[in-house]
Amino acid sequence: MLTKVHMEALSPTMEEGQVVKWLKIEGDSVSEGDVLAEIETDKAVMELVARGGGLLRAVLLSEGGTAPVGEVIAVIAEANEDISLFEKQDQPTSPATTTEDTPLSGEVLAVPLSQPEQSGEKVVAEKGPGLEGQRIKSSPLARKLAEKSGLELQSISGTGPAGRIVRKDIEAALNTQAATVARPIVSVGGPEEYEDIPLTQMRKTIARRLSESIGPVPHFFLTVSVDMSKWTEARSQINRMLDTHGVKISYNDIIIKATAVALKMHPECNAHWMQSSIRRFNAVHIGVATAVEDGLITPVIRNAHSLGLREIHDEVRRLAEKAKNKMLKPEEYTGGTFSISNLGMYGIQEFTAVINPPEAAILAVGSLESGQMKLTMSCDHRVIDGAVGARFLKTLKEILEEPAAGFI
Amino acid sequence: MAEITYRDALNQALVEEMERDESVFLLGEEVAEYDGAYKVSKGLLERFGDKRVVDTPISELGFTGLGVGAAMVGLRPVVEFMTFNFSFLAIDQLINSAAKMGSMSGGQVTAPMVLRGPSGAALQLGSQHSQACEAWYLHAPGLKVVTPGTPADAKGLLKTAIRDNDPVVFMESELLYNLKGEVPDGEEFLIPLGVADLKREGGDVSIITHGQMIHVALRAADQLAKKGLEADVLDLRSLRPLDVESILESVAKTNRAVCLEEGWSYGGVGAQVTSILMEEAFDDLDAPVLRVTQADVPMPYNKRLEAWAKPNVARLVEACEKVCYV
Q: What residue ranges define each of the domains in chain A, with the CATH number in brackets?
A: 3-95 (2.40.50.100), 97-113+132-176 (4.10.320.10), 191-407 (3.30.559.10)
CA atoms within 13 A on the CB side of A31: 0
Distance (Å, whole) CA B243 – CA B239: 8
- Looking at chain A, which residue has its C-alpha nearest residue B289? A139
Which DSSP helix (H) or strand (E) runs through A377? strand A372-380
**Minimal C-alpha gap between A140 and chain B (Å):** 5
Known catalytic residues of B are 60, 129
Predicted confidence at residue A161, as pLDDT, reads: 85
Cβ contact (<8 Å) for B284 and A140?
Answer: yes
pTM of the predicted model as reported, rounded to 2 decimal places:
0.55
Of all residues in chain B, the percent with pLDDT exceeding 90 is: 98
Cβ contact (<8 Å) for A166 and B282?
Answer: no
Quick one: which of A289, A268, A297 has its CA closest to A360?
A268
Q: How far is C-alpha A381 from the geometric centre of its chain's CA atoms?
A: 7
B280 touches chain A (CB under 8 A): no
Distance (Å, whole) CA A262 – CA A258: 6
For residues B23-41, average pLDDT: 97
Q: At what angle do helices A251-265 and A386-401 cross, to 10 degrees?
A: 130
- Looking at chain B, which residue has its C-alpha nearest residue A143? B283
- Looking at chain B, which residue has its C-alpha nearest residue A144? B283
Determine contact, residues B17/B162, Cβ cutoff 8 Å: yes
Burial class (CB in 10 A: 0-12, 13-18, 19+), B262: buried
Cβ contact (<8 Å) for B286 and A143?
Answer: no
A159 touches chain B (CB under 8 A): yes
Predicted confidence at residue B186, as pLDDT, reads: 86
Cβ contact (<8 Å) for A159 and B282?
Answer: no
B198 touches chain A (CB under 8 A): no
Distance (Å, whole) CA A212 – CA B282: 28
Residues of chain B with CATH 3.40.50.970: 2-183
Cβ contact (<8 Å) for B285 and A143?
Answer: no
- Helix, strand, coil proportions of chain A in percent (round to 5)? 35, 25, 40
Cβ contact (<8 Å) for B284 and A141?
Answer: yes
Mutation target for A interface from B274, B325, B326: give the one with most A CBs within 10 A: B325
Backbone angles phi, psi at A332, to 5 degrees: -95, -10
- Looking at chain B, which residue has its C-alpha nearest residue A166? B286
B255 touches chain A (CB under 8 A): yes
Determine contact, residues A253/A358, Cβ cutoff 8 Å: no
ipTM over 0.85 threshold: no
| DSSP reduced 3-state for B115 | strand
B206 touches chain A (CB under 8 A): no
DSSP letters spanning A156-178: ----SGGG-B-HHHHHHHHHHTH
B50 touches chain A (CB under 8 A): no
Instruction: Please report residues of A whose CB lies closer than 8 A to that of B252.
Output: none
Tens-binned pLDDT, residue by residue, of chain A (408 aa): 788 898 888 877 778 888 989 999 888 999 888 899 998 887 777 889 888 889 999 899 988 888 888 888 999 988 888 887 776 544 444 444 434 433 333 333 333 333 333 433 433 333 333 333 457 889 999 998 888 888 888 878 888 888 889 998 888 888 876 544 444 444 444 445 777 787 877 777 777 766 666 667 888 999 999 999 998 888 998 899 888 888 899 999 999 999 999 999 999 999 999 888 899 999 999 999 888 877 778 899 999 999 989 999 999 999 998 888 878 887 888 889 999 999 998 999 999 988 888 899 999 999 998 889 999 999 999 999 999 999 999 999 999 999 888 777
**pLDDT over 60 at B85, yes or no:** yes
Long-range Cβ contacts of A315-321 (<8 Å, 24+ apart)? A316/A250, A316/A252, A316/A253, A316/A256, A316/A288, A319/A288, A319/A290, A320/A288, A320/A290
B283 touches chain A (CB under 8 A): yes
Distance (Å, whole) CA B82 – CA B58: 10
Nearest 5°: CA angle at A97, between A119 and A16? 20
- Looking at chain A, which residue has its C-alpha nearest residue B325? A160
Instruction: Please report residues of A whose CB lies closer than 8 A to that of B287.
Output: 139, 160, 166
B266 touches chain A (CB under 8 A): no
**Minimal C-alpha gap between B255 and chain A (Å):** 7
Looking only at the bridges linking them, the beta strands covering B144-146 and B168-172 are parallel
> In the beta sheet, which residues pair with residue A42?
none
> In the beta sheet, which residues pair with residue A342?
A365
A137 touches chain B (CB under 8 A): no
- CATH fold, domain B197-323, is Rossmann fold (3.40.50)
| DSSP reduced 3-state for B106 | coil
For residues B283-309, average pLDDT: 96
A172 touches chain B (CB under 8 A): no
Q: Which CATH class is domain B2-183?
A: alpha beta
Cβ contact (<8 Å) for A166 and B285?
Answer: no
Residues of chain B with CATH 3.40.50.920: 197-323
| DSSP reduced 3-state for A321 | helix
Option in B283, B287, B325 nearest A144 (CB): B283
Looking only at the bridges linking them, the beta strands covering B257-264 and B290-294 are parallel
**Minimal C-alpha gap between B322 and chain A (Å):** 10
- Looking at chain A, which residue has its C-alpha nearest residue B326? A160
Predicted confidence at residue A96, as pLDDT, reads: 41
Mutation target for A interface from B253, B283, B285, B286: give the one with most A CBs within 10 A: B286
Cβ contact (<8 Å) for A160 and B282?
Answer: no
B248 touches chain A (CB under 8 A): no
Distance (Å, whole) CA A255 – CA A226: 11
DSSP letters spanning B135-202: HHHHTSTT-EEE---SHHHHHHHHHHHHH-SS-EEEEE-GGGTT-EEEE--STT----TT--EEEE--
Distance (Å, whole) CA B2 – CA B12: 12
Cβ contact (<8 Å) for B285 and A142?
Answer: no
Distance (Å, whole) CA B134 – CA A273: 57
Instruction: Please report residues of B whose CB lies closer than 8 A to that of A171.
Output: none
